[in-house]
A = this chain, B = another copy of it.
Amino acid sequence: MAQFDMPLPDLERYAPEIEEPDDFDDFWAGTLAEARTFDAAPAVERVDTGLTQVLVDDVTFPGFGGHPVKAWLTRPAHADGDLPVVVEYLGYGGGRGLPYDHLQWAAAGYAHLVMDTRGQGSGWGAGGGTPDPVGSGPASPGFMTRGVLDPHEHYYRRVFTDGVRAVDAVRAIAGLDPERVAVTGGSQGGGITIAVAGLVPDVVAAMPDVPFLCHYRRAVSITDAMPYGEITKYLSVHRGPEVEAQVWRTFSYLDGVSFARRARTPGLFSTALMDATCPPSTVYAAYNGWAAGQADVAREIDVYPYNMHEGGGDYRFPRKLEWLGATL
């Protein structure tokens, strides 16, 4: 059915209990500490793009394990002073592509860094350039179940760490204002946005659109769409309560709901009521938990009643531009 998830009033109240391990914070503190031991400065190379109004740098920074992660940094050719920065994470399967595809924030006077998602970037668009040098046990096609039997091995432990390190990287680049770094992204990029906001509480704003990677267990029970469906496929082959328990335990270290609770920065979400890829109840589970217990942290959510996973689409940029301007 079209609006297949809960009715909107129920969504607005939806605050499920989810499994959260006791050592969640230790797990992530350790992970980030280890990653930050690889503390090389980001490599920043100016690129000749033919563009006259926008400066483009090809950035390489050390991510999880010190692995090199690629990003494009764009900024206006005509600017004064240190620029506020928007760090953007990408949707599932895509890569940073070409710098010509990321000009909006620069046109609005911001610096913008778009980070590759390691190993991704051959599914759509113009390609990614960042390997994931870590192998895995048997996994269903895609990335969701790589390392699914151990949270230390899981693919998204590496990706979320890359996301944090991207913020670290922009804070080290000349001409950018380390006090004014916002994070954003759609779908998988929205999930990473939430994770980074939970792990780096002093980013100035978080703007996740139709975020993925939230409340996995509910997602799997109400939709068979990919990529949540990769988990279903894995569990449909690796049957049995032990495997199932371990899979959910692994994801309990990676759930956007838990990250959202730890956020301490204003949040602007969006969701779509016909979105079977990232069902609205999974988005609201994170949104309703945002900055748990901190009533003074602003949050807003835009609801698109007639959209599927494309959500607000092109309408999101001006909306976020205005909101971020007001927030900074």
Interface set of A (CB-CB < 8 Å, partner B): 1-4, 49-54, 76-78, 93, 95, 97-98, 100-101, 103-104, 106-109, 119-142, 145, 220-224, 229, 232-240, 244, 274, 304-308, 310, 312-315, 317-318, 321-322, 325
A136, A220, A313 interface centre (most CB from chain B within 10 Å): A313
- Provide the bound-state CA to CA distance between A310 and B223, in Å: 18
- Provide the bound-state CA to CA distance between A109 and B136, in Å: 36
Asked if A108 meets B52 with Cβ closer than 8 Å, knowing A138-B127, A140-B123, A224-B2, the reply is: yes
Residues of chain B contacted by A107 (CB below 8 angstroms): 51-54, 100, 103, 106-107
- Provide the bound-state CA to CA distance between A239 and B130, in Å: 17
- Whether B125 pairs with A237 at a CB distance below 8 angstroms is yes
Our pick among B106, B141, B142, B313 for the contact of A53 (Cβ within 8 Å) is B106
- Return A11 CB to nearest CB of chain B, in Å: 14
> Closest residue of chain B to A234, judged by CB?
B122
Residues of chain B contacted by A307 (CB below 8 angstroms): 236, 239
Residues of chain B contacted by A104 (CB below 8 angstroms): 100, 103
Residues of chain B contacted by A97 (CB below 8 angstroms): 314
- Provide the bound-state CA to CA distance between A222 and B237, in Å: 26
**Interface CB pairs A-B, < 8 A, 27:** A1-B4, A1-B223, A1-B224, A2-B229, A50-B108, A51-B108, A52-B76, A52-B108, A53-B107, A78-B78, A98-B314, A100-B104, A103-B104, A119-B139, A120-B138, A122-B140, A122-B237, A123-B233, A125-B314, A126-B314, A131-B137, A132-B136, A224-B274, A232-B306, A236-B310, A239-B304, A244-B305
- Provide the bound-state CA to CA distance between A244 and B304, in Å: 11
Residues of chain B contacted by A232 (CB below 8 angstroms): 2, 274, 306
Asked if A122 meets B135 with Cβ closer than 8 Å, knowing A53-B53, A220-B2, the reply is: no
- Whether B50 pairs with A126 at a CB distance below 8 angstroms is no
| 10 A-B pairs closest in CB distance | A235-B306, A121-B138, A133-B135, A126-B314, A52-B109, A131-B137, A122-B140, A128-B138, A141-B141, A2-B224
Residues of chain B contacted by A129 (CB below 8 angstroms): 137-138
- Provide the bound-state CA to CA distance between A120 and B135, in Å: 12
- Return A55 CB to nearest CB of chain B, in Å: 10
Residues of chain B contacted by A134 (CB below 8 angstroms): 135
- Whether B126 pairs with A139 at a CB distance below 8 angstroms is no
- Provide the bound-state CA to CA distance between A325 and B50, in Å: 9
- Provide the bound-state CA to CA distance between A135 and B100, in Å: 29
- Excluding A53-B54, A106-B107, A235-B305, 6 further A-B contacts by CB distance (< 8 Å) are A2-B223, A53-B106, A98-B317, A124-B237, A130-B138, A236-B308
Residues of chain B contacted by A103 (CB below 8 angstroms): 103-104, 107
Residues of chain B contacted by A236 (CB below 8 angstroms): 304, 306-308, 310
> Closest residue of chain B to A54, judged by CB?
B107
